[in-house]
A = this chain, B = another copy of it.
Amino acid sequence: MRDYAILAAIAHEPRSGYDLAKWFDRVASHFCPAGYGSVYPALARFERDGLAVHEAVPSERGPERKVYSVTEKGKEVLLRWAREPAANPQTRDEQLVKALSYGMLPSEEALELLEEARGRHAEKLAYYEDLERGLEARLREGKISKEAYIGTLLVLRRGIGGERCYLEWCEEARALVSSVEGLRVDAP
């Protein structure tokens, strides 16, 4: 799956490994993280298998860049995979693992921790909303294709919705933790 994300990213527009790693970090890390360690070997594999080709482009600063673009075969492979139904998303959320124990903590402490979490997610939300504005601008200026715009917008909107939703949970959780302080377990 990581591989298909990389393939899709160069199908949006030709990119170097360096560009890809940065792109993943900025816009795709919330659903498919990928660092240098996965990007470079994948690109080499694509080229070996005829899914991508690269063109050496002198950089304005730093060493020469290898800019990869997808081949016809690469695009076929990508779309064949995209047409299949997707597996369930898989998440590791440390915050929720910690929340499992919030009932054993003094409630003021739990409330503080939830407030911290709220802050982190509010920041993320603002960041994605910013990216969305930038994306729209790039479309208007004709810097990206319609196809790339749709794909990127879809995942960005999901990032935004996901963060909004997480914020709602933080507030719901605060209300919950506050309200159960006086909860009676045994029947009156």
Q: When the two chains form their complex, are residues B154 and A102 in contact, meaning their CB atoms are under 8 A apart? A: yes
Q: When the two chains form their complex, are residues B104 and A75 in contact, meaning their CB atoms are under 8 A apart? A: yes
Question: Within 8 Å CB of A113, what residues of B?
Answer: 82-83, 85-86
Q: When the two chains form their complex, are residues A101 and B82 in contact, meaning their CB atoms are under 8 A apart? A: yes
Q: When the two chains form their complex, are residues A8 and B101 in contact, meaning their CB atoms are under 8 A apart? A: yes
Central interface residue in A9, A95, A99, by most chain B CB within 10 Å: A99
Known contacts A89-B92, A91-B30, A120-B88: A151-B5 contact under CB 8 Å: no
Question: Within 8 Å CB of A127, what residues of B?
Answer: none
Q: When the two chains form their complex, are residues B91 and A86 in contact, meaning their CB atoms are under 8 A apart? A: no
Contact residues of A between 105 and 132, Cβ < 8 Å to B: 105, 109, 113, 116-117, 120
* A15 proximal to B (CB < 8 A): no
Stretch at the interface among A36-44, A47-55, A59-67, A162-170: A162-170
In the bound complex, CA of A173 to CA of B165 (Å): 16
Q: Which of B30, B91, B161 contacts A168 (CB 8 A)?
A: B161
Size of the chain A interface, CB-CB below 8 angstroms: 75
Q: When the two chains form their complex, are residues A81 and B102 in contact, meaning their CB atoms are under 8 A apart? A: no
In the bound complex, CA of A88 to CA of B162 (Å): 13
Question: Within 8 Å CB of A78, what residues of B?
Answer: 101, 104
Known contacts A100-B152, A145-B185: A91-B91 contact under CB 8 Å: yes
Q: When the two chains form their complex, are residues A4 and B97 in contact, meaning their CB atoms are under 8 A apart? A: yes
* A176 proximal to B (CB < 8 A): yes
* A56 proximal to B (CB < 8 A): no
Kindly list 11 other residue pairs between chains A and B, CB separation below 8 angstroms, not including A82-B98, A146-B185.
A31-B93, A82-B101, A85-B117, A86-B94, A86-B97, A89-B91, A89-B93, A89-B96, A142-B186, A157-B173, A158-B169
